[in-house]
Structure 1
Amino acid sequence: MDVVLPCLNEAEALPWVLSRMPRGFRPLVVDNASTDDSARVAADHGARVVDAPDRGFGAACHQGLLAARTDVVCVMDADASLDPAELPRLTAALDALQTGDPPGPVPGLVLGRRRPAGRGAWPPHARLGNAVLARTLNRRAGTRLRDLGPMRAARRDALLDLGLTDRRFGYPLEMVLRAAGAGWRIGEIDVAYRPRTGASKVTGTLGGTVRAVRDMRRVLAEVSP
């Protein structure tokens, strides 16, 4: 199955990420106007590379979904903070959700709940902002999530049918809000979260965290679950 990897200047991290991709999982690196050698490194390590010239995490994810060719798709960061070896557990959890009680053709979404594994893996300011947003999401949408984790698995066509419109950092939150509103089964499993490779653009900096929280608060105000 295809694994969408939004990528902005991750040439240093990509070799480790792509070398850890499990059998049967095909990396699709979405180059979001990188200024380093990310696209070349990805191609040299066997990934399919798709261009997403309009900057934004949501823009890269959406372009990746459009380019994906498999029924089930995974999405994860390309910065080596998450291990692709965890992906089979994520898709197994998705299968279990969709064959649960009651059985039926209800779409499912599984998120990886990040568990820090290493010093500096998840700075306190980022963890606090995530916890506040998760509590707000749970109140609004009736979910029981503890993390808005960036490692996810769902069916491609169902995700596209949600009609997600955010093209920035609010995209992950909008996905859960709209999935909950559409009656999806939503779950999470624990995954290891490591110190990322290279300079962080979001959680590793206070400014990046503030921008992400601002985008997500805007989504909360605009989207009704």
Structure 2
Amino acid sequence: MSQAIIDVIIPAFNEEKSIPKVIHDIPKFVRHVVVANNNSTDQTAAVAEKAGAVVVFEGQKGYGKACLTAMDWIKNQEIQPDIVVFLDGDYSDYPEEMTGLVQPILEGKADMVIGSRALGERESGSMTVPQVFGNWLATTMMNYIQGAKFSDLGPFRAIDWPKLLSLNMVDQNYGWTIEMQIKAHKAGLKYLEVPVNYRKRIGVSKVSGTVKGVFGAGYKIILTIFKYW
């Protein structure tokens, strides 16, 4: 673990209360924690920087857009990472479980590891009914249409950095996670899932917390599945 270079990407929009907790719990073997401040109107950038993260700014709102901006920052570093880990900034994930995601990649057992909330323990109320149903529907459709076997579209994931670059990620919003999984499957990457625990987020979700967010995410996810059919 100590010989591998591992960077973390956290897309964040108005997460000033949670982002310091997330950064604090990230294992010490990580080199850079890159917080993509997605046009926040609170102190997300300031508190993330104070907690020790590198903060990059992305003015165009969108989960995928923020991830792409953070990736661009990493691309410009003189020494490139071996693995990149993605997780959310709302403290719903358990960053200390990161070892379980990167270890299979270091051992050559996988190119991408998805932290599956469906296989782990979920705190009551941590996922809404539309979220649970949406994950089931999306993973079932991926299995039926593409033969990709996943149980979750969980944001907590680790992937070999050169392999990630080879996927040519383009989605700028809700389709980011499923695009990565479909492209990894179609490219023949080795992937697996590990159970991760999940708790109630700090603050209100920008997706599951609004009717517009739920329907917008659902539409984009289904659209992405058919786009890469």
1:74 aligns with 2:63: no
TM-score by length of 2: 0.90
CA distance in 1, matches of 2:162, 2:68: 12
The answer for the alignment partner of 1:126 in structure 2 is 131
CA distance in 1, matches of 2:16, 2:65: 20
Cα deviation digits, residues 145-166 of structure 1 (max 9, x gap): 1111101111222212211221
The answer for the alignment partner of 1:164 in structure 2 is 169
> Which deviates more from structure 2 when the two are superposed, residues 45-54 or residues 60-69?
60-69
Q: For 2:196, what is the secondary structure of its paired residue?
A: strand
The answer for the alignment partner of 2:25 in structure 1 is 20
> Which of 88, 102, 111 is the equivalent residue of 2:99?
88
1:60 aligns with 2:66: yes
1:181 aligns with 2:186: yes
The answer for the alignment partner of 2:227 in structure 1 is 222
Q: Which runs of 5+ in 1 are unaligned?
A: 101-106
> Which deviates more from structure 2 when the two are superposed, residues 30-39 or residues 111-120?
111-120
The answer for the alignment partner of 1:104 in structure 2 is none
1:112 aligns with 2:123: no
The answer for the alignment partner of 1:103 in structure 2 is none
Q: Which runs of 5+ in 2 are unaligned?
A: 1-5, 75-79
Q: For 2:213, what is the secondary structure of its paired residue?
A: helix
> Which deviates more from structure 2 when the two are superposed, residues 137-146 or residues 122-131?
137-146
State the identity as a percent. Answer: 32
Quick one: structure 1 residues 10 and 64, their matched pair in 2 at CA, closer, same or farther if it must change by over 3 Å? same
> Which deviates more from structure 2 when the two are superposed, residues 78-87 or residues 64-73?
64-73
In the alignment, is the contact (CA less than 8 A) between 1:126 and 1:204 conserved in 2? no
1:212 Cα offset (Å): 0.8
1:222 Cα offset (Å): 1.4
Q: For 2:143, what is the secondary structure of its paired residue?
A: helix
CA distance in 1, matches of 2:101, 2:149: 17
1:30 aligns with 2:36: yes
In the alignment, is the contact (CA less than 8 A) between 1:125 and 1:206 conserved in 2? no
Q: For 1:129, what is the secondary structure of its paired residue?
A: helix
Cα deviation digits, residues 25-80 of structure 1 (max 9, x gap): 13110101111100000001110111112210110111112222412100011100
> Which deviates more from structure 2 when the two are superposed, residues 66-75 or residues 123-132?
66-75
CA-atom RMSD in angstroms = 1.4
The answer for the alignment partner of 2:201 in structure 1 is 196
CA distance in 1, matches of 2:134, 2:7: 30
1:123 Cα offset (Å): 1.1
CA distance in 1, matches of 2:137, 2:56: 34
CA distance in 1, matches of 2:93, 2:180: 20
> Which of 19, 43, 56 is the equivalent residue of 1:50?
56
Task: Give aligned pairs, total.
Answer: 216
> Which deviates more from structure 2 when the two are superposed, residues 157-166 or residues 145-154?
157-166
Task: After the TM superposition, list the runs of 4 or more consecutive aligned residues in structure 1 that deviate by more than 4 angstroms.
Answer: none
TM-score by length of 1: 0.91
